[in-house]
Amino acid sequence: MAVFERILKDPVHDEVVVEDPWVWRLINTAAMQRLRRIRQLGTSYLTFHGAEHSRFSHSLGVYETMRRVLYHLDHHFGWPRELRDRRLALSVALLHDVGHGPFSHTFEKVYEFHHEDWTRRIILEDDELQSVLGEQDSTFAQDLVSILDKTNQFPIIQQLISSQLDVDRMDYLLRDGLHTGVSYGSFELARLIRSLVLDGDEVSVRHSALHTVEQYILARYFMYTQVYLHPVTIGSDVLVAQILRRAQELVRQNTLPASLIPEALSVVLGSFVERLTVKDYLSLDEATLFYAFHQWSKGPDALLADLAQRFLHRHLLYPIVCSPPSSETMAAVRTCVRAGGYDPDYYLSGRTSGIAAYVYLGEGIQMMLPTGRREELSRMSRLVREMSTTEEYCLFLPREIFAPGSEMGERIQRLLKVSVVPQ
């Protein structure tokens, strides 16, 4: 009898191994394949040119990490023994990001919906996914959703896919670090997996792996502060949001020609999000938005055309790291931006970025002591205990305002008490 096996080469894990034909069918559904057309890091490729990897490659990486964790837990602790539990764990690893839209979090903020909600809907409503998931049994899809909803019905799988130490973060830190060309995301994945301990329904880490866990926590901290929250990337996200806001405003005014609106975007831009079906949503990817941006960059609305051109040609808004301005200062800055010939509603935006170094209340990583007693990580690690939340405020404006000799640019610098030297 032939043994099923598919080996996919991977830059992070070397190989992604698929030994279950059912999992292979899941990977090849249209909903999963769509993730090839959505970047893992959104607009970060405009900051780190190598960050072109997709949500699909990350999802395969999370699957492979979960597969290796399951092998370790089965070999040393006898779990999972049931094929259904194994398939639940592997499929939730594959499908955990299936609801992401183009440019992910930016797209969500503009249209006020969440990828988690769409992930649930796609799992429960997409006909092709339902067909594959239903091969297991009639409640399998709903059980997947219950894991994502953290109902604690499947506590071990829930911890493995969504916790302070989960397979999702394990993969994206290594993958994002590799593709952005930084070393911040590195940690010893194999040792971390070997150190996992299963005690009843609780996943812990052997105390001897304390420094490996610290390495993982530091990798996450530095990836957020140096990569995910990079001011240029945030500025790129701001620009995408402003493009979509302007397009939506023109659609409401009925002044954006229908010929310039891709069909897949028409429902969203028309503010009919509540009418958006799973089929509609799955037709949205970054190719759709890029096509729209190209169309709008040549369209009749000068403001939308300029915003789209700025994004397509990487003429991004300039990030100014400063203290959050008072309402009076912000009003004065808006006046300067308007005097410089720019609409402050679209060319001026402030963002605060913050990342908690480590969350321990109710979510901490449990370390297993030789006595069999568990201890929360921050109680054992002074390094983790002393890490603090990082927060930074940025104001984004057109860099042309700060051209040499610009009166408005000089006034803004005085108002914000900063020195700007645009490159």
C-alpha to C-alpha distance for 141 and 257, rounded to whole angstroms? 41
Give the list of residues 6+ apart from residue 410 with CB closer than 8 angstroms, or none: none
- Angle of helix 407-416 relative to helix 327-339, nearest 10 degrees, comes to 170
Domain boundaries, the chain: 6-229, 316-423
The per-residue pLDDT for range 101-136, each reduced to its tens digit, is: 999 888 888 887 788 999 999 999 999 999 999 999
The DSSP code sequence of 151-170 is: -SSSHHHHHHHSSSS-HHHH
Which SS3 state, helix, strand or coil, does residue 31 take? helix
What pLDDT is recorded for position 113? Answer: 78
Report the run of H or E that residue 213 belongs to, with start and end: helix 210-223
Residue type, 173: L
pLDDT tens-digit map of 206-247: 999 999 999 999 999 999 989 999 999 999 999 999 999 999
Topology, domain 316-423: Alpha-Beta Plaits (3.30.70)
User: What averages of pLDDT result for each successive group of 10 residues across the chain (423 residues)?
Assistant: 89 98 98 98 96 98 98 97 97 97 86 88 97 97 97 97 96 97 93 97 97 95 92 95 95 93 86 80 95 97 98 96 95 96 96 81 88 94 87 93 90 91 63
> What CATH code would you report for 6-229?
1.10.3210.10
Mark out the alpha helices in 224-319 (DSSP H runs). 231-252, 263-269, 278-282, 286-297, 302-312
Q: Considering Cα of 242, then 246, then 247, then 252, what sign does the dihedral take?
A: positive
Can you tell me the distance from the alpha carbon of 150 to that of 101, in angstroms, rounded to the nearest whole number?
A: 22
What pLDDT was estimated at residue 1?
Answer: 55
